[in-house]
Each structure stands twice: as structure tokens, then as C-alpha cells.
Structure 1
Amino acid sequence: MAKAMARHILVRTEAEAAQLKQRLAKGEDFASLARKHSICPSAKRGGDLGEVRPGQMVRAIDQVIFRKPLRDIHGPVKTQFGYHLVQTFYRD
């Protein structure tokens, strides 16, 4: 069965997600920004979602993790929880 390793930052607004994405593009540390800004419990782990399998996440996030290029930061992706920035760094 397919699996991946991913991390994300979850915020309340699209504007906040876009601002964080710009900061990441300038080289700021993903884990540090996740710890400081993410409203998800994964913030304590720098946004690390651990090993993920298809169907474990909401559909929009699942599609990013299993279909988008590795290592790129994708988003903002809107879900019922807020806006996500998602990075997948391993997939098989």
C-alpha cells in the first residue's frame, strides 16, 4: 500500500497561509514556522504528520500528498479546518 511522509502548517486565513509561503520561499525554516503559527496539534512536531496512507487525510490534502511533486510547498489548500501549506518529502 502507498505511503508518504509529509508535514503541514494549518492557519485560519488564506492571507496568513500566503504570507507564510512567501517566508518559506525566502528560506525560513518550515518546522519553526509550523511551531509558531500552525493551529494543528502537529505544530509541536514542526508540522510533521508522520507516515500517511491514502484516505487518512481529508481529500484535498490527500491529493496534494499523493499527486503533487515532492519537496515543493503546496498551498494554500482550503479544507474545513482552515488553510494548509503542505510538503511531502517521501512517497512510495
Structure 2
Amino acid sequence: MQYPVLIEDGSETTAFGVVFPDLPGCFSAGDTLGSALLAAREAAAAWIEAAVEAGTAIPAPSGPGDVRNLADGKGWTLHLIDLDRPDDGVR
């Protein structure tokens, strides 16, 4: 399933920031866009694993259009990341 992720542009001195709007508290970073996307997958997988262990429902992904509105004009770009989600515990 594809989850939207917002990535804040990095530079030579700052990392690319990563936030999943649908997974509260799930964030990461990377020195390059590629490493930020890889770190995003790892962070989301850990978030989902912790949610399953805690019996917490895993939110369904928002539509890209809904999330794009959060990013517009704020220095964030929208990407979609494929994540495996268990069938149970999904709301």
C-alpha cells in the first residue's frame, strides 16, 4: 500500500527531513534524497511493527491530494512509499 511521505529539502549542511502525516510520530532523515527515502521505509516499518505489538490500529493512507495541501509552499515535497501493512489492526 502506498503511504504519502513529506520530505524537506536538505543541503550540504542539513539533512533531508522525512515525515509520515498518517503515522503519528514517524519521522526520519537522510543526507541525500535516496538515503532519506530508505530511512523513511525503515522508520515506517518500525512504526508499524511497534503498532502491531501494542495492538494499535494502523491508519489507512491519506490520498496524495490531501497531503499535498500540507506541503505546498512550505519547502516539502510529496513522495509515495510502498509499505507492507498487516491485514489485521487496520482502520
TM-score between both structures, scaled by the size of structure 2: 0.29
Q: Which structure has the larger Rg?
A: 2
Structure showing greater relative contact order (alpha-carbon pairs closer than 8 Å, 6 or more residues apart): 1
More strand by share: 1
